[in-house]
Amino acid sequence: MVGPKPQPNRMCKSKSAIATTTSSSSMAAAAASTPRNHRSPRSTTTYPAAFSYSSSTTSSSAASLAALRDSLPELPLLFTFHDLAAATANFSSSHRLVHAAASSSSNSFRCSLRGHPAAVFRRPLRRDAREVSSRLAVLGHCHHAAIARLLGAAASPDRTTLFLAYEFVSDAAPLSALLRNPKNPSFTPLASWHSRLQLAADVCDALHYVHLQADTVHNRLSASSVLVCGDGPLFRAKIAHFGAADLAGELPVDQKDEKEAKGSGHRRTGSRGRRIEGTRGYMAPELIAGGPPSRRSDVFALGVVLLELVSGQEPLRYELVNRATGEYERTSLIEAAEATAAEGGGEAMRRWVDRRLRDSFPVDAAESLTVLALRCVAKDPLARPDMSWVAAKVSKLFLEAPEWASKFRVPTDISISIAPR
C-alpha cells in the first residue's frame, strides 16, 4: 500500500499512548541536540551525593521502564497479504472459525500473528486502499475493555478485499448462541437479571466509546457480534468488528457532521460507492431504504440487542403455518415489545420477559429497559436518543440490580422444624 495521507489530529489516544508519544518526542529532541561524537561526562565528573545514583537504582528504573513498555498496548500493524496468507495456511478450511461473530465461516479465520492469537475477517474493500493505513493509524489509538482489540489490516493484491485482524477471545461465545441454543432451548447460562444488565451496560459503554472517543460508526452491532466472556456468575461483553465498516469504506466520507449532510440533501459515499450492509433484523429503516450508516442506525441495532436481552427472543422469526402451501408466519421482536408496552401492567411484562429468568427480575426495571429499547428502535432516526443518554440510563439500572437481587434472595439463616413439640 502507498503511505498514509495526512489526517486531522483527532486521534483518540489513551493515556499510555500519550505518555509514549511525549517521552519519545523528548528523547528524539535530546538525541538531536547531542553531537554524535560527544561522550558522556559521567566518567570524569563527580556529582554531589544528593544527585548520585547507585547501580541498584538504575537497574530498578530500567526494570520499571521495561514493565511499563510491556504493559502498553501495541498499535495495529499494516500487514501484508502474504503475512495473513502464511498465518492461515493460505486461508485454508482448517483455520476457519466455527463461531465467527456476525460473519460466515468462509470469511473468518483463526491464526497467530506476531505471537498473538488472532481472528481474521474478510470484507469487500470499497475505498482507496491507500487510505486504509491512515485510518488504521487513527483507530489504532482507540482501546476499550469492552471492545475486541484491532490488531491490524491488509489489502488483497488486487485491492478489492480487506482483511482485518482482531484479538482472539478464547473464552468467549456470541450472545446469540448463549440466548438461543437450538440443542437445548430451555437452558441459558444467562439466567439472572443482574448478568443480563451487566452485558447491556458493557455494550452500551462500548458503543458510547465508539461514537464519542473513536468518532466513528460501528455498523456491525448484533447479538452475534457481542462476545460474552468469562465463566460467571457475572459475564462480561466485548463487541467485535470495531472499525471494520470504517476501514472497508462502508461509511460516508465525512461522519463528523451528519446534520450538514441531512440539511443539504446530499448523500456522501465512499470512493467506490456503497452497498447496503447489515444483518437482517438489526438494520434501521433508513438503511433498508438505502441511506448511509450513522450513529442513529447504530442506536437502532443496540435497541434490538437490548430487547433480546430482556426477552431472549431473536429479532425476526419465521414459523411454518401451512406445509401444503409453504406459508410462513413472521414474528417481529420490535412489534411484540410494542404490543407489550401498549398493554402495560406487570402481568403483560411477566409474559414478555424471558421465562428462563423465572421470577428473578424486577418487573419495573424490565419495563424501564423495554421502554428505553423501544425509544432506540424508533422509526424516525431523529427520535432516537444518543448514546450518552442510553449509556447513563442503562448504567443506572445496572447499579440498582444488586440491591434488588439482595432483597429477592431467599434467607438461608432460617431453620424450620416440623417435629412435634
pLDDT in tens, the chain (421 residues): 444 444 444 445 444 444 444 444 444 444 444 444 444 443 333 333 333 334 454 566 666 655 544 554 556 788 999 999 999 999 998 899 876 554 555 689 999 998 889 999 999 999 998 899 999 999 988 999 999 999 999 999 999 999 999 999 988 999 999 999 989 999 999 999 999 999 999 999 999 999 999 999 999 999 999 999 987 678 999 999 999 999 999 998 655 444 433 443 333 334 344 566 678 899 999 999 999 999 999 999 999 999 999 999 999 987 766 777 777 778 899 999 999 999 987 899 999 999 999 888 999 999 999 999 999 999 999 999 999 999 999 999 999 988 776 666 544 444 444 444 4
Q: What is the pTM of this model?
A: 0.75
Is there a domain that residue 275 lies in?
yes
Cis peptide before 420 (omega within 30 of 0): no
Contact at 8 Å (CB) between 173 and 228? Answer: yes
Nearest 5 degrees, angle CA 244-CA 161-CA 117?
60
Identity of residue 236: R
Contact at 8 Å (CB) between 375 and 303? Answer: yes
Among residues 309, 332, 347, the alpha carbon closest in space to that of 379 is found at 332
Per DSSP bridges, beta strands 150-155 and 77-78 are parallel
The parent domain of residue 316 ranges over: 78-256+269-405
Identity of residue 244: A
Is there a domain that residue 296 lies in?
yes
Is there a domain that residue 47 lies in?
no
C-alpha cell recorded at residue 22: 511525549
Q: How far is CA 281 from the centre of its chain?
A: 18
Is there a domain that residue 26 lies in?
no
C-alpha cell recorded at residue 253: 466520507
C-alpha cell recorded at residue 329: 408466519
Is there a domain that residue 64 lies in?
no
Among residues 139, 172, 157, 18, the alpha carbon closest in space to that of 84 is found at 157
Look at the chain and report how many structural domains it folds into: 1
C-alpha cell recorded at residue 286: 433508513
CATH code where residue 82 lies: 1.10.510.10
Number of neighbouring beta carbons within 10 Å of residue 148: 22
Is there a domain that residue 9 lies in?
no
Is there a domain that residue 223 lies in?
yes
Is there a domain that residue 4 lies in?
no
Cβ contacts of 69-72, under 8 Å, gap ≥ 24: 71/16, 72/16, 72/17, 72/20
